[in-house]
């Protein structure tokens, strides 16, 4: 019989049974051996099926392990790709921000000439804000607070930074507008000197946080804020020994302060530009009036002095009483040079054309000052002319009085009934009596 015949397992079992038992018993118990063979075959089949099931289960386990490994690998690749994604694109020499990048807003508010930082700190502390939460140590040069968590407002939840500068400017990063306006219009006016809420000036920029960059920059009108921690050096440098290890969060806040200072400078300049524009509107018709023929100047002395004072105030705020024309504020002189805070300040200035605007503003002030000079000269001429006419009138009065005096004297001299004539006649009579000879 061929080993591959259908009854091969039964034949093998029968042969084994013959060797194990006598022949008589084998013939007598043949039906029992057939049942045993069937049971054995069923057991073998069950073992084979169990092995197949175990093999499939092991295969599935290995496949799931591979799939899980593959999934985790894809997830890590996606995270790494997101981290290494560059938000800054370039087209030729033009650099721009990826339009699909999610940006946030940084806003500057200028509502006063100056802020008393000590008073402002007391006011914001009363509102529940924590002063200098990151421990930058820059108080009182700048006041830093953070917006509080609001778990009940999940849909409208944001957390950001607020910087209050002594120059009368507040800069907010990722802060709701209503919270910023409440701080500027309701809380801080008590600490303001020269408050001008009616001339509230605001300026916005977009920013995004890039975790793949250690440094920050300004691309167009968007701030790219690098939040990647700097690589630690093998050996501590002298600056690290002196100042201690720097926290990445502190470095990010310092970068925000640098950008905020540049944005506050631009907003402060915008206020002066608005003041000068209002001044020019109020004096727009003066050159035409001066150029018109046979037109009497309607400007009074008080009007000319008031306009001159307004112009001098704008020029003083631009060049004397603020840091608008400084190359670098005192805030950045003590900062670590590797942070490049002065460069961030200059980047915002270049992006917002602060230098050009200061130059143009000074030129406009110079032109307005020429008009004020012409008005002052005209006022001086009018005043001098009045003095001359007054002197001429006084001289004329004096001449008239002198003529009157001479006339009165001549009239009294010619009148025989006048006191002078009678006195003269009396004296003449006495003289004649003295000349007569005396009779003894």
Query: Higher pLDDT residue, 216 or 321?
Result: 216
Alpha carbon of residue 361 to chain centroid? 21
Q: Is the pLDDT of residue 180 over 90?
A: yes
* pLDDT score of 365 more than 80: yes
Name the more confident of 111 and 292: 111
CB atoms within 10 A of CB 326: 10
Query: Which tens digit of pLDDT belongs to each residue from 230-250?
Result: 654 443 333 332 333 456 788
Name the average pLDDT for the chain: 76
The confidence band for 303, taking pLDDT boundaries of 50, 70 and 90, is confident
For the segment 299-320, the average pLDDT, to the nearest whole number, is 87
User: What is the per-residue pLDDT for 106?
Assistant: 95
Q: Compute the average pLDDT of residues 47-56.
A: 58
pLDDT at 420 over 80: no
**pLDDT, tens digit (0-9, with 9 covering 90-100), for 276-286:** 999 999 888 88
pTM as predicted: 0.67
Residue 158 has pLDDT above 90, yes or no: no
More confident call, 33 vs 55 = 55
Per-residue model confidence as pLDDT tens digits over 422-436: 777 778 778 877 776
Average pLDDT over residues 393-409: 92
Yes or no: say if 192 and 111 are a contact pair by the CB < 8 Å rule.
yes
């Amino acid at each position: 019989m061929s080993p591959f015949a259908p009854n091969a397992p039964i034949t093998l079992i029968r042969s084994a049974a013959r060797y194990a038992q006598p022949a008589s018993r084998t013939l007598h118990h043949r039906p029992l051996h057939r049942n045993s063979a069937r049971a054995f075959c069923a057991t073998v089949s069950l073992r084979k099926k169990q092995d197949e099931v175990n093999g499939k289960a092991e295969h599935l386990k290995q496949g799931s392990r591979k799939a899980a490994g593959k999934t985790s690998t894809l997830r890590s690749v996606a995270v790494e790709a997101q981290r290494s994604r560059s938000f800054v694109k370039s087209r030729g020499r033009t650099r721009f921000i990826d339009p699909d990048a999610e940006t946030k807003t940084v806003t500057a508010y200028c509502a006063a000439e100056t802020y008393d930082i000590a008073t402002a700190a007391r006011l914001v502390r009363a509102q529940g804000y924590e002063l200098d939460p990151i421990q930058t140590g820059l108080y009182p040069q700048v006041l830093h607070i953070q917006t509080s968590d609001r778990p009940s407002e999940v849909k409208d939840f944001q957390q950001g930074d607020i910087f209050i500068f002594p120059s009368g400017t507040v800069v907010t990063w990722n802060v709701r507008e209503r919270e910023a306006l409440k701080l500027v219009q309701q809380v801080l006016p008590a600490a303001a000197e020269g408050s001008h809420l009616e001339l509230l000036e605001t300026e916005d920029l977009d920013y995004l946080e890039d975790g793949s960059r250690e440094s920050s920059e300004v691309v167009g009108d968007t701030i790219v804020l690098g939040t990647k921690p700097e690589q630690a050096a093998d050996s501590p440098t002298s600056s690290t020994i002196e100042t201690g290890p720097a926290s990445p969060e502190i470095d990010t806040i310092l970068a925000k302060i640098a950008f905020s200072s540049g944005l506050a400078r631009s907003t402060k300049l915008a206020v002066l530009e608005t003041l000068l524009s209002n001044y020019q509107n109020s004096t727009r018709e003066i050159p035409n009036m001066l150029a018109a023929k046979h037109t009497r100047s309607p400007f009074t002395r008080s009007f000319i002095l008031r306009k001159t004072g307004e112009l001098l105030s704008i020029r003083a705020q631009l060049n004397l009483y603020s840091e608008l024309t400084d190359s670098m504020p005192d805030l950045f002189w003590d900062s670590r040079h590797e942070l490049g805070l002065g460069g961030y300040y200059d980047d915002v200035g270049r992006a917002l054309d602060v230098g050009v605007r200061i130059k143009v503003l000074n030129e406009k002030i110079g032109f307005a000052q020429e008009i004020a000079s012409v008005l002052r000269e005209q006022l001086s001429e009018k005043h001098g002319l009045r003095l001359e006419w007054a002197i001429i009138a006084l001289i004329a009065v004096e001449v008239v009085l002198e003529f009157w005096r001479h006339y009165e004297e001549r009239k009294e001299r010619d009148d025989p009934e006048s006191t002078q004539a009678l006195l003269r006649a009396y004296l003449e009579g006495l003289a004649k009596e003295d000349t007569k000879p005396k009779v003894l």
